[in-house]
Amino acid sequence: MIGFGSKPRPFARSLSPDLILSACKRASLYDVHAIPIISSTSDVLRDWARDGARSGTVLLAEAQTAGRGRMGRSFYSPRGAGIYLSLLLRPEFSASEVLRITHYAAVAVARAIESIMPIKVDIKWVNDLLCGGKKVAGILTEGEISADGRVSYVILGIGINVTGQSFPEELSEIATSLEAVSGQTVKRELLIGRILSELAPLLEEDFPRGFMDEYRARNVVLERDITVIRGEERYVAYAARIDEDGALVVRLSTGEERVLSSGEVSVRF
């Protein structure tokens, strides 16, 4: 949401697609659009997808008035303070492989951040990126399946807290920004270019071998007790492992194991 008394970045300006593409190793794969303000980049890109936009179309905004996260939550998106990016994919992957797009994107964004600043980025299953235990970024993957069971399109939404300006009260304990963590000014176009470089394998339908191992290695939930949140239901379980599909396998105190698919569950620790 815009506002909350926060000041816009004094030098806030529209992102430059040319600068972004010049920082991207695989520029020809992408068609980048940057606009000042929008409801949600993912909602608008979904409309573009239905109108036939091509795979590799990227929509960025300086601010979102209705930025969305997983599980119906909103994503705080004040002007110039973050990166609000959606990428359209038209994969030939099966529906189960599509679920792994979120995991691959989390690794890609973590690598891109670490390539431009000396900070360590962790992942909290399934879609949160953390620095020092606080959230700096989130990923929202949504798609449409056609009547014949094929994936028509996928919208990969990435939101990153960039500047150190204050968060609304309900977020201040759990969220931080790249600039607050690093003490450095972030060149957003450079970071976006690096992210698009890392995401290129998704457009080439080629998940790099071993990325799930990196996803596991970065994950902070493994081998500890967590709270599983599924709708109104909450229970404590031990996070035993993440399987090759990216599902989290948890063990209850009874010894029963449950396989949690990313689409339906959140965790807290």
Q: Is 64 in the site for ligand BTN (CB under 6 A)?
A: yes
What is the Cα–Cα distance from 155 to 251, expressed in whole angstroms?
Answer: 32
What is the Cα–Cα distance from 205 to 203, expressed in whole angstroms?
Answer: 5
CA-angle at 63, arms to 197 and 117, nearest 5°: 40
Among residues 65 and 96, whose Cβ is nearest to ligand BTN? 65
Among residues 8 and 69, whose Cβ is nearest to ligand BTN? 69
Q: Is 139 in the site for ligand BTN (CB under 6 A)?
A: yes
What is the Cα–Cα distance from 64 to 77, expressed in whole angstroms?
Answer: 5
The overall longest dimension of the chain from CA atoms, in Å, is 56
Q: Does residue 126 have a cis peptide bond before it, meaning omega lies within 30 degrees of 0? A: yes
Q: How far is the CB of 151 from ligand BTN (least distance, A)?
A: 19
Beta bridge pairs of residue 215: none
Q: Is 134 in the site for ligand BTN (CB under 6 A)?
A: no
Q: How far is the CB of 61 from ligand BTN (least distance, A)?
A: 8
Q: Is 157 in the site for ligand BTN (CB under 6 A)?
A: yes
Convert residues 40-59 into a mask of x (bound to ligand BTN by CB under 6 A) and - (unbound): xxx-----------------
Q: Is 143 in the site for ligand BTN (CB under 6 A)?
A: no
What is the signed CA dihedral for 162, 57, 139, 44, rounded to 10 degrees?
90
What is the Cα–Cα distance from 160 to 138, expressed in whole angstroms?
Answer: 7
Q: Is 68 in the site for ligand BTN (CB under 6 A)?
A: yes
- Tell me the window of 50-58, 136-144, 216-224, 225-233 that interacts with ligand BTN (CB under 6 A): 136-144
Q: How far is CA 66 from CA 48, 77, 257, in A?
A: 17, 8, 37
Q: Are 87 and 56 in contact (CB under 8 A)?
A: yes
Q: How far is the CB of 127 from ligand BTN (least distance, A)?
A: 6
Among residues 68 and 90, whose Cβ is nearest to ligand BTN? 68
Convert residues 217-256 into a mask of x (bound to ligand BTN by CB under 6 A) and - (unbound): ----------------------------------------
Q: Is 125 in the site for ligand BTN (CB under 6 A)?
A: no
In the block, residue with structure tokens 């003490």: 183
Tokens coding 226: 């967590």
Residues in the site for ligand BTN, rule: CB under 6 A? 40-42, 64, 67-70, 73, 75, 84-86, 127, 138-140, 157-159
